[in-house]
Amino acid sequence: MKALAVSASALSMVSERPHAVGPQQRRAASAADALADLDLGAFFERRVSDLPGAEGVCGLVWQETLYRPLAQFLSRPGKLLRARLLNHGWRLVDGRGEPSQALCLLPEILHSASLIVDDIQDGAECRRGGPALHRLIGPERALNAANWLYFWPYTLLEEMPLPASRRRRAAQLITAALLDCHRGQALDLGVQVWTLPQHSVASLVAEQSRLKTGCLTALCTGLGALSAGGSPRRVALLMRFGEQVGVALQMLDDLTAVLPARHDKAGEDLRFGRPTWVWSIAAQHCDEKEYRMLTELARACAGGADWRPICALLADIVGDAGLARAHETLARAGDLLAGASLPEAAVRDVMTDLAGLERAYG
């Protein structure tokens, strides 16, 4: 897969001449060190130990059915993408110091809750190198644990040393993002691709991706900028940037799933008839007869037929042109930053980070 297709305007902000080590560079190194120390599982265990009622029989039940399973699940390795995006949002408005661990991990907590629910709804077996949580403790307990995680960030937010107006606005952003993410999930669960008219697939996939993925990444950059004291205009800009990054990465996730290295993900999507970016591209590039043939094969997969032949067909349709669309979407996100008066070192760091994320898909 080719490297991040950052536009010329974005690249112009990343000069090849040597840079003096100034305050921004020192802050960038300090921020990187802080992110390297992030450990969601350890953070969870520390904070849970401070909750009331840890003693007695109730505490034992909570440990067994809620706290211990979540601590184990949250300790599994992850990219911490959302924590990194929040940190970038903070730095892109030239925030003083560094965001707290609790703030950086807040969107990771929300994302972890969504993964637990996704796995229940998809009947998934594994997540992040281990069994899906509902396979370990049952769907009822796993769902309760996920719901608990959705609400916990509001308590964490109240404890943060932010002005009351920022805390109030941050809570509003979190609530709006959760509502949008659940609407996006409804689009994902509510239809099977073969039930949709061919002309409707692209618009549904775009909206589903924007709501389910883009709104959470928008929350990350927006929350970082807001907490750092960014103006409403800057927060709105960085939320648009975060949303576009999320959509682009979802495109890459969907489109590379039909490649041999990630066939397990493709098989899951095909068996459930999920409306993904693969189907969006197929609907736009195939004639009616070809598309009907593909959806009939997909319907057969749901009935137990081998999904690998249709996976190969879809991979041919996606091709380099399909992947190029994802690269272009990510490049347009970079244009949003290049066209604004933002700290150059912070812009350079976020674009470097995104380029590395993109390479990870190839």
**CB-count burial class (<10 Å; 0-12, 13-18, 19+) for 18:** exposed
The residue whose two tokens read 């796995």 is 119
Query: Taking a C-beta distance cutoff of 8 angstroms, is the pair 4, 252 a contact?
Result: no
The reported pLDDT for the residue numbered 251 is: 95
Query: How far is residue 326's CA from residue 228's CA, in Å, rounded to a whole number?
Result: 30
Query: How far is residue 108's CA from residue 86's CA, in Å, rounded to a whole number?
Result: 10
Give the type of residue at 135. Answer: R
Structure tokens at 147: 């719901």
What the chain holds in terms of domains, given with CATH numbers, is 39-48+58-77+101-159 (no CATH), 164-361 (1.10.600.10)
Tell me the pTM. 0.89
Query: How far is residue 54's CA from residue 114's CA, in Å, rounded to a whole number?
Result: 26
Which residues, 6 or more positions from 278, have their beta carbon under 8 angstroms from its beta carbon?
A: 254, 255, 257, 258, 266, 269, 314, 317, 318, 322
Query: Taking a C-beta distance cutoff of 8 angstroms, is the pair 119, 132 a contact?
Result: yes
Helix, strand or coil for residue 343?
coil
Query: How far is residue 44's CA from residue 270's CA, in Å, rounded to a whole number?
Result: 35
* Per-residue model confidence as pLDDT tens for the chain (362 residues): 344 444 444 544 444 434 444 555 555 555 555 677 899 999 999 999 888 776 788 889 999 999 999 999 999 999 999 999 999 999 999 999 999 999 999 999 999 999 999 999 999 999 999 999 999 999 999 999 999 999 999 999 999 999 999 999 999 999 999 999 999 999 999 999 999 999 999 999 999 999 999 999 999 999 999 999 999 999 999 999 999 999 999 999 999 988 876 666 677 788 889 999 999 999 999 999 999 999 999 999 988 899 889 999 999 999 888 889 999 999 999 999 988 999 999 999 999 999 998 888 75
Q: What angle do CA 155, 160, 176 make, to 5 degrees?
A: 55
The reported pLDDT for the residue numbered 213 is: 97
Q: How far is CA 299 from the centre of its chain?
A: 28
The reported pLDDT for the residue numbered 273 is: 92
